[in-house]
Protein backbone atom coordinates (compact mmCIF):
# COMPACT_ATOMS: atom_id res chain seq x y z
CA UNK A 1 0.00 0.00 0.00
CA UNK A 2 2.85 2.39 0.92
CA UNK A 3 4.60 1.65 -2.38
CA UNK A 4 1.40 2.30 -4.30
CA UNK A 5 0.92 5.66 -2.56
CA UNK A 6 4.54 6.60 -3.23
CA UNK A 7 4.16 5.66 -6.88
CA UNK A 8 0.94 7.65 -7.13
CA UNK A 9 2.71 10.64 -5.61
CA UNK A 10 5.51 10.42 -8.18
CA UNK A 11 2.96 10.17 -10.98
CA UNK A 12 1.13 13.20 -9.63
CA UNK A 13 4.34 15.24 -9.47
CA UNK A 14 5.25 14.17 -13.00
CA UNK A 15 1.84 15.19 -14.34
CA UNK A 16 2.02 18.55 -12.53
CA UNK A 17 5.49 19.30 -13.90
CA UNK A 18 4.45 18.24 -17.41
CA UNK A 19 1.37 20.48 -17.23
CA UNK A 20 3.50 23.40 -16.05
CA UNK A 21 5.96 22.92 -18.91
CA UNK A 22 3.05 22.74 -21.37
CA UNK A 23 1.52 25.95 -20.04
CA UNK A 24 4.86 27.76 -20.14
CA UNK A 25 5.37 26.58 -23.70
CA UNK A 26 1.92 27.84 -24.71
CA UNK A 27 2.63 31.15 -22.99
CA UNK A 28 5.96 31.51 -24.79
CA UNK A 29 4.24 30.72 -28.09
CA UNK A 30 1.52 33.24 -27.34
CA UNK A 31 4.00 36.03 -26.77
CA UNK A 32 5.85 35.04 -29.93
CA UNK A 33 9.31 34.31 -28.57
CA UNK A 34 11.33 32.08 -26.33
CA UNK A 35 11.62 33.20 -22.73
CA UNK A 36 14.85 35.20 -22.21
CA UNK A 37 17.31 33.60 -19.81
CA UNK A 38 19.01 36.82 -18.80
CA UNK A 39 18.25 40.52 -18.85
CA UNK A 40 20.24 43.33 -20.40
CA UNK A 41 21.36 43.78 -23.97
CA UNK A 42 20.24 41.18 -26.48
CA UNK A 43 20.59 40.33 -30.16
CA UNK A 44 17.36 39.14 -31.73
CA UNK A 45 17.67 36.37 -34.30
CA UNK A 46 15.04 35.80 -36.99
CA UNK A 47 15.37 32.79 -39.27
CA UNK A 48 14.06 33.04 -42.83
CA UNK A 49 14.01 29.49 -44.15
CA UNK A 50 12.50 27.95 -47.25
CA UNK A 51 10.42 29.50 -49.99
CA UNK A 52 9.01 32.91 -49.06
CA UNK A 53 5.25 32.81 -49.60
CA UNK A 54 4.00 34.88 -46.66
CA UNK A 55 5.34 37.86 -44.73
CA UNK A 56 3.08 38.21 -41.68
CA UNK A 57 5.11 36.03 -39.31
CA UNK A 58 8.47 37.57 -40.17
CA UNK A 59 7.08 41.11 -40.04
CA UNK A 60 5.59 40.41 -36.59
CA UNK A 61 8.97 39.14 -35.37
CA UNK A 62 10.82 42.18 -36.73
CA UNK A 63 8.34 44.57 -35.14
CA UNK A 64 8.52 42.74 -31.81
CA UNK A 65 12.32 43.02 -31.71
CA UNK A 66 12.39 46.57 -33.09
CA UNK A 67 10.10 47.79 -30.30
CA UNK A 68 12.11 46.15 -27.49
CA UNK A 69 14.74 48.48 -25.94
CA UNK A 70 16.77 45.49 -24.72
CA UNK A 71 17.34 44.33 -28.29
CA UNK A 72 20.33 46.22 -29.64
CA UNK A 73 20.62 44.43 -32.99
CA UNK A 74 18.63 42.09 -35.20
CA UNK A 75 20.25 39.25 -37.12
CA UNK A 76 18.41 37.73 -40.06
CA UNK A 77 19.67 34.19 -40.60
CA UNK A 78 18.71 33.41 -44.20
CA UNK A 79 18.46 30.01 -45.86
CA UNK A 80 15.99 30.66 -48.67
CA UNK A 81 15.94 30.48 -52.48
CA UNK A 82 13.49 33.39 -52.59
CA UNK A 83 9.80 33.26 -53.33
CA UNK A 84 6.83 35.52 -53.98
CA UNK A 85 7.38 39.17 -54.80
CA UNK A 86 5.07 41.03 -52.42
CA UNK A 87 6.04 39.18 -49.20
CA UNK A 88 9.71 39.80 -50.01
CA UNK A 89 9.02 43.49 -50.62
CA UNK A 90 6.99 43.78 -47.41
CA UNK A 91 9.76 42.24 -45.30
CA UNK A 92 12.33 44.48 -47.01
CA UNK A 93 10.33 47.56 -46.01
CA UNK A 94 9.96 46.29 -42.44
CA UNK A 95 13.74 45.88 -42.16
CA UNK A 96 14.17 49.50 -43.24
CA UNK A 97 11.63 50.58 -40.60
CA UNK A 98 13.55 48.69 -37.91
CA UNK A 99 16.72 50.49 -38.94
CA UNK A 100 14.92 53.84 -38.72
CA UNK A 101 14.07 52.93 -35.12
CA UNK A 102 17.77 52.69 -34.40
CA UNK A 103 18.21 48.91 -34.61
CA UNK A 104 21.27 47.47 -36.29
CA UNK A 105 20.20 44.79 -38.78
CA UNK A 106 22.71 42.22 -40.03
CA UNK A 107 21.88 39.49 -42.53
CA UNK A 108 23.70 36.16 -42.41
CA UNK A 109 23.35 34.10 -45.59
CA UNK A 110 23.78 30.36 -45.11
CA UNK A 111 23.50 27.80 -47.90
CA UNK A 112 21.43 30.04 -50.14
CA UNK A 113 20.01 33.54 -49.94
CA UNK A 114 18.88 34.29 -53.46
CA UNK A 115 16.27 36.30 -55.33
CA UNK A 116 13.55 37.43 -52.90
CA UNK A 117 15.74 36.37 -49.97
CA UNK A 118 18.56 38.56 -51.27
CA UNK A 119 16.01 41.35 -51.80
CA UNK A 120 15.32 41.20 -48.04
CA UNK A 121 19.00 41.00 -47.12
CA UNK A 122 19.81 44.07 -49.21
CA UNK A 123 17.84 46.20 -46.75
CA UNK A 124 20.27 45.33 -43.93
CA UNK A 125 23.08 47.44 -42.53
CA UNK A 126 25.51 44.61 -43.24
CA UNK A 127 25.38 41.31 -45.18
CA UNK A 128 27.62 38.41 -44.17
CA UNK A 129 27.83 35.36 -46.43
CA UNK A 130 29.89 32.20 -46.35
CA UNK A 131 32.33 31.97 -49.23
CA UNK A 132 30.33 29.13 -50.78
CA UNK A 133 26.88 30.62 -50.18
CA UNK A 134 24.70 31.13 -53.25
CA UNK A 135 23.20 34.58 -53.43
CA UNK A 136 22.15 37.27 -55.88
CA UNK A 137 19.71 36.00 -58.54
CA UNK A 138 18.39 39.52 -59.11
CA UNK A 139 15.69 38.61 -61.58
CA UNK A 140 12.07 37.64 -62.08
CA UNK A 141 10.68 34.56 -63.78
CA UNK A 142 7.26 33.36 -64.84
CA UNK A 143 6.50 29.78 -65.81
CA UNK A 144 3.12 28.86 -67.31
CA UNK A 145 1.98 25.40 -68.39
CA UNK A 146 0.02 24.93 -71.60
CA UNK A 147 -1.96 21.67 -71.86
CA UNK A 148 -4.07 22.22 -74.97
CA UNK A 149 -2.52 19.36 -76.99
CA UNK A 150 -2.98 16.96 -74.09
CA UNK A 151 -6.62 17.94 -73.65
CA UNK A 152 -7.23 17.60 -77.39
CA UNK A 153 -6.01 14.00 -77.23
CA UNK A 154 -8.46 13.07 -74.52
CA UNK A 155 -11.31 15.06 -76.02
CA UNK A 156 -11.56 17.87 -73.48
CA UNK A 157 -12.16 21.38 -74.77
CA UNK A 158 -12.39 24.73 -73.00
CA UNK A 159 -14.84 27.51 -73.79
CA UNK A 160 -14.07 31.00 -72.44
CA UNK A 161 -16.38 33.99 -72.28
CA UNK A 162 -14.57 37.21 -71.37
CA UNK A 163 -15.10 40.95 -71.35
CA UNK A 164 -11.54 41.98 -72.24
CA UNK A 165 -8.95 40.46 -74.53
CA UNK A 166 -6.36 40.13 -71.74
CA UNK A 167 -8.73 38.69 -69.14
CA UNK A 168 -7.59 35.07 -69.63
CA UNK A 169 -3.95 35.81 -70.39
CA UNK A 170 -1.79 32.87 -69.36
CA UNK A 171 -4.60 30.35 -69.69
CA UNK A 172 -3.27 26.78 -69.80
CA UNK A 173 -5.91 25.88 -72.38
CA UNK A 174 -4.34 27.76 -75.32
CA UNK A 175 -1.02 29.24 -76.44
CA UNK A 176 -0.42 32.92 -75.69
CA UNK A 177 -0.57 35.42 -78.50
CA UNK A 178 2.33 37.72 -79.33
CA UNK A 179 0.49 40.66 -77.74
CA UNK A 180 -0.09 38.67 -74.57
CA UNK A 181 3.57 37.66 -74.32
CA UNK A 182 4.61 41.30 -74.77
CA UNK A 183 2.15 42.35 -72.04
CA UNK A 184 3.39 39.72 -69.58
CA UNK A 185 6.99 40.67 -70.36
CA UNK A 186 6.18 44.31 -69.52
CA UNK A 187 4.91 43.19 -66.09
CA UNK A 188 8.09 41.26 -65.42
CA UNK A 189 10.27 44.14 -66.59
CA UNK A 190 8.51 46.51 -64.21
CA UNK A 191 8.97 44.19 -61.23
CA UNK A 192 12.58 43.62 -62.27
CA UNK A 193 13.21 47.35 -62.19
CA UNK A 194 11.67 47.53 -58.71
CA UNK A 195 14.09 44.80 -57.62
CA UNK A 196 17.10 46.62 -59.09
CA UNK A 197 16.10 49.93 -57.46
CA UNK A 198 15.58 48.24 -54.09
CA UNK A 199 19.03 46.64 -54.21
CA UNK A 200 20.54 49.94 -55.35
CA UNK A 201 18.93 51.74 -52.42
CA UNK A 202 19.72 49.10 -49.82
CA UNK A 203 23.30 48.51 -50.92
CA UNK A 204 24.08 52.18 -51.64
CA UNK A 205 25.12 51.27 -55.15
CA UNK A 206 24.27 53.13 -58.31
CA UNK A 207 21.73 51.54 -60.64
CA UNK A 208 24.52 51.39 -63.25
CA UNK A 209 26.51 49.15 -60.89
CA UNK A 210 23.59 46.86 -60.08
CA UNK A 211 22.08 46.56 -63.56
CA UNK A 212 24.86 44.41 -65.14
CA UNK A 213 24.56 41.96 -62.22
CA UNK A 214 20.77 41.79 -62.39
CA UNK A 215 20.36 39.16 -65.10
CA UNK A 216 19.11 36.41 -62.79
CA UNK A 217 22.44 34.69 -62.19
CA UNK A 218 23.56 33.57 -58.75
CA UNK A 219 26.94 34.31 -57.20
CA UNK A 220 28.99 32.56 -54.57
CA UNK A 221 29.58 34.55 -51.41
CA UNK A 222 33.12 35.18 -52.57
CA UNK A 223 31.94 36.53 -55.93
CA UNK A 224 29.19 38.60 -54.30
CA UNK A 225 31.76 40.20 -52.01
CA UNK A 226 33.84 41.13 -55.04
CA UNK A 227 30.80 42.79 -56.65
CA UNK A 228 29.82 44.57 -53.40
CA UNK A 229 26.57 42.62 -53.11
CA UNK A 230 27.64 41.47 -49.63
CA UNK A 231 29.85 43.20 -47.08
CA UNK A 232 31.82 40.36 -45.55
CA UNK A 233 32.72 36.69 -45.69
CA UNK A 234 31.88 34.64 -42.62
CA UNK A 235 29.50 32.24 -40.93
CA UNK A 236 26.62 32.68 -38.51
CA UNK A 237 28.93 33.23 -35.54
CA UNK A 238 30.90 35.86 -37.44
CA UNK A 239 27.62 37.63 -38.23
CA UNK A 240 26.71 37.64 -34.53
CA UNK A 241 30.08 39.19 -33.69
CA UNK A 242 29.58 41.81 -36.39
CA UNK A 243 26.09 42.65 -35.09
CA UNK A 244 27.48 43.03 -31.56
CA UNK A 245 30.31 45.26 -32.77
CA UNK A 246 28.00 47.47 -34.83
CA UNK A 247 25.70 47.80 -31.80
CA UNK A 248 28.72 48.91 -29.71
CA UNK A 249 28.63 45.78 -27.52
CA UNK A 250 31.94 44.44 -26.23
CA UNK A 251 30.82 40.81 -26.27
CA UNK A 252 28.07 38.79 -27.93
CA UNK A 253 25.14 39.24 -25.54
CA UNK A 254 22.17 36.96 -24.89
CA UNK A 255 20.51 35.75 -28.08
CA UNK A 256 16.74 35.96 -28.39
CA UNK A 257 15.12 33.66 -30.92
CA UNK A 258 11.59 32.83 -31.96
CA UNK A 259 10.79 29.15 -31.61
CA UNK A 260 8.05 26.83 -32.75
CA UNK A 261 9.03 24.29 -30.14
CA UNK A 262 8.11 24.46 -26.47
CA UNK A 263 9.99 26.30 -23.77
CA UNK A 264 11.72 23.16 -22.41
CA UNK A 265 13.29 22.34 -25.76
CA UNK A 266 14.20 25.99 -26.19
CA UNK A 267 16.09 25.94 -22.90
CA UNK A 268 17.82 22.67 -23.75
CA UNK A 269 18.90 23.92 -27.18
CA UNK A 270 20.39 27.03 -25.48
CA UNK A 271 19.74 30.70 -26.00
CA UNK A 272 23.22 31.32 -27.33
CA UNK A 273 22.97 29.04 -30.32
CA UNK A 274 25.84 28.63 -32.77
CA UNK A 275 23.94 26.30 -35.04
CA UNK A 276 23.28 27.11 -38.67
CA UNK A 277 19.68 27.68 -39.71
CA UNK A 278 18.38 24.49 -41.38
CA UNK A 279 20.47 23.94 -44.48
CA UNK A 280 18.52 23.70 -47.69
CA UNK A 281 19.17 21.02 -50.22
CA UNK A 282 17.13 22.59 -52.96
CA UNK A 283 18.08 24.44 -56.11
CA UNK A 284 18.92 28.11 -56.07
CA UNK A 285 15.45 29.13 -57.24
CA UNK A 286 14.21 32.48 -58.43
CA UNK A 287 11.39 34.89 -57.81
CA UNK A 288 8.29 33.29 -59.15
CA UNK A 289 5.01 34.73 -60.32
CA UNK A 290 2.51 31.90 -60.40
CA UNK A 291 -0.81 31.62 -62.20
CA UNK A 292 -3.52 32.97 -59.94
CA UNK A 293 -1.22 35.90 -59.35
CA UNK A 294 0.70 34.90 -56.25
CA UNK A 295 3.10 37.74 -56.81
Active centre residues (catalytic): 115, 167
Cα(164)–Cα(171) distance, integer angstroms: 14
Q: Judging by beta carbons within 10 Å of its beta carbon (0-12, 13-18, 19+), is residue 61 exposed, middle or buried? A: buried
Distance CA 138, CA 210 (A): 9
Beta-ladder partners of 128: 108, 232
Q: Give the Cα separation of 152 and 147 in Å (integer).
A: 9
Cβ contacts of 140-144, under 8 Å, gap ≥ 24: 140/85, 140/188, 140/191, 140/192, 140/195, 140/216, 140/286, 140/287, 140/289, 141/188, 141/216, 141/286, 141/287, 141/288, 141/289, 142/184, 142/188, 142/288, 142/289, 143/288, 144/170, 144/172, 144/176, 144/291
Q: Are 244 and 253 in contact (CB under 8 A)?
A: yes
Contact 246, 73 (CB under 8 A): yes
Report d(CA 2, CA 162) in Å as an integer. Answer: 82
Q: How many of the other CB atoms lie within 10 Å of CB of 22? A: 13
Roughly how many angstroms between the first and final C-alpha of the chain, as a whole number?
68
Cα–Cα dist 45/161, whole Å = 51
Amino acid sequence: MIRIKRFARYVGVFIAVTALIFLLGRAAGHFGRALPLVGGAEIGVIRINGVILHSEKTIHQIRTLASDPEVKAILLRINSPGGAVVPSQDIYEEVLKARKKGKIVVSSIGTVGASGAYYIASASDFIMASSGSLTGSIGVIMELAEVKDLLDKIGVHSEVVKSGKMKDVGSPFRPMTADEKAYMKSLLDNIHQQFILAVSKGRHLSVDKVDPLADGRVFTGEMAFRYHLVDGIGDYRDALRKAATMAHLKVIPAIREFHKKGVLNSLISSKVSTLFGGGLGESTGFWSILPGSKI
